[in-house]
């Protein structure tokens, strides 16, 4: 797979929510600059989430 950034449609938006020290809901991240890959057959893949280890840890964000 080859990473391309030109001639691609607008990106998806990834919003990650969690809780703060006071146990109140909060937005942890709000991103639009996500990795995108165009496959040779024209399919566009956009990474919304990746979990490298299970179980997940708080520092994995």
- Tens of each residue's pLDDT in the chain, 61 residues: 455 555 656 678 888 899 989 989 999 889 888 888 889 998 888 887 777 778 877 776 6
The residue whose two tokens read 């040779």 is 40
Q: Which pLDDT does position 49 carry in this prediction? A: 77
Q: Which pLDDT does position 41 carry in this prediction? A: 93
Note the pTM of the prediction, 2 decimals.
0.49
The whole-angstrom separation of Cα 40 and Cα 10 is: 19
Q: With CA atoms as reference, report the closest residue to 16 among 53, 54, 60, 55.
A: 60
Range of the domain at 56: 2-60
- Split into its structural domains, the chain has a count of 1
β strands within the chain, DSSP E = 2-3, 14-19, 25-31, 36-38, 44-46
């Amino acid at each position: 797979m080859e990473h391309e950034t030109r001639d691609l449609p607008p990106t998806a938006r990834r919003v990650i929510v969690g809780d703060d020290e006071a146990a109140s809901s909060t937005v942890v991240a709000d991103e639009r600059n996500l990795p995108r890959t165009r496959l040779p057959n024209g399919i566009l893949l956009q990474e919304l989430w990746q979990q490298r280890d299970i179980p997940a840890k708080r520092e994995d964000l």
